[in-house]
Amino acid sequence: MKNFTLKQLRAVARVAELGTVTAAAERLNLSASAISITLKQLEDELGIKLFERTESGFKPTEAGREVILAEAQIAAILGELTEVTGALRGGQTGQVTFGVVSTAKYFAPFLLRAFQATHPKIEITLKVGNREETLARLADFTVDMALIGRPPQDIQVEQQEIGPHPHVVIAAPDHPLARKRSVSAISLSDEVFLIREMGSGTRLLAERILSEIGAVPKPGMEISSNETIKQAVMAGLGISFLSYHTVAHEIEQGRLAMLRVEGTPVIRKWHIVRNRKKYLLPSAVSLWKFICENGESFLPVMKTKKF
C-alpha cells in the first residue's frame, strides 16, 4: 500500500483547481513551500508526474486527474460519513436488537411500529424467546435491551417498570368452572393443567402462585408455545395459567373463558431491562426512552378486579 495521505490528495486537487501553488497554499492555510514539498513527495511515492508546469499554470497529467478523482470520491464519502455519524449521534438512525419474552410478542410489535413511525431510519431486529433464552441474550450482549416480566437477579441490569402484567386461569368456554361466579383454589386440584416448558417465566410464576393459593392441579401436557396452549385449552384438553396479555383477544371473542379463581388475577409487572455492561448507541437510547415513556399505553387493559 502506498504511503500517501488525504492531505496530499487535497493539495493536488487544490493546485489543479486554482492553477498555482501559491493560490492552493492560501486556500489550505499552508506555505507555498509546504505545498511544493507535498507534491514532490506524492510524485516520488507514486513514481509518476502529476502536473505539467506550463506558462498558464499547473495542468494535471492523466495520473494527476486520477488523483483528483480519488480525492473527490473520498471527500464525498467523508461528507456522507459526517451526515451518518451526526444522525447516529442524534439517535435518528442506526440498528437496535430488541429481545422480548414470548408473552410480550402480542403487544411488542405495536409498540415498535409506533416507535418507527417517528424514527423510520432506525432498523430493529426482534428476538423472541422464553425467559431463559432472553436472559442468555442479555448476558452475552446479543440484544441491546429486553422486555420481560421479572428482572434477573444474576445479571447486573438497568431496569424500568413499564406497567401491570396480570395473569389469569383460563378454560374452554363450555368448561363447568366457566359458569361459576367464584372458583375456589382447592377446586383446581381436580383439573388437568397445561404448562409451559422448563425455562419459561410463565411456568415459574404458575408453579409459585398455584402453590401459594393452595392449588395442586394434576400435571398435564408440557407445551413450549402460548399459542399451542390456547388451542389445547379451547379443545378441552385442560386449563392453564397464562398472562392476560396472551389471551385477551380470545377472551373478548368468547373463544376462551377466564375463570373467577379466588386470588386472581395475579398482577405482576412488565420491565424493560438492559445489561449495565453493554454500551447503548444513541439509536438504542432512543428506543429505551420511548418504551419507558410510552410502553404502558400499549398494554391490553384488564378492568376486572381480583375475584
The C-alpha R_g of the chain, in whole angstroms, comes to: 32
Q: Which residue has the higher pLDDT, 75 or 13?
A: 13
Cell of 105: 410478542
Range 6-89 has CATH code 1.10.10.10: yes
Residues paired with residue 190 on neighbouring β-strands, in sequence order: none
Render pLDDT for 88-135 as a digit per residue (tens, 0 to 9): 677 678 889 999 998 899 999 999 999 999 999 899 999 999 999 999
Domain boundaries, the chain: 6-89, 93-163+269-298, 165-268
Average pLDDT of every residue of the chain: 87
The pLDDT confidence band at residue 1, using thresholds 50, 70 and 90, is very low
Helices (H), ranges, 32-61: 32-46
CA-closest candidate to residue 127, choices 96, 149, 91: 96
CATH: 3.40.50.80, 3.40.190.10, 3.40.605.10, 3.40.50.300. Which one for 93-163+269-298?
Answer: 3.40.190.10
Per the CB < 8 A criterion, the answer to whether 210 and 169 are in contact is no
pTM of the predicted protein model:
0.70
Per the CB < 8 A criterion, the answer to whether 103 and 204 are in contact is no
The Cα–Cα gap between 137 and 211 comes to 30
Domains 93-163+269-298 and 165-268 share a fold: yes
Q: What angle do CA 229, 230, 233 make, to 5 degrees?
A: 85
The Cα–Cα gap between 116 and 95 comes to 12
CATH: 3.40.190.10, 2.40.400.10, 3.40.50.2300, 3.40.50.620. Which one for 165-268?
Answer: 3.40.190.10
CA-closest candidate to residue 110, choices 147, 157, 151, 158: 147
The pLDDT confidence band at residue 217, using thresholds 50, 70 and 90, is low
Average pLDDT over residues 222-244: 91
Residues paired with residue 166 on neighbouring β-strands, in sequence order: 267
pLDDT at residue 236 tops 80:
yes
Per the CB < 8 A criterion, the answer to whether 172 and 256 are in contact is yes
At 124, is the secondary structure helix, strand, or coil? strand
Residues paired with residue 257 on neighbouring β-strands, in sequence order: 171
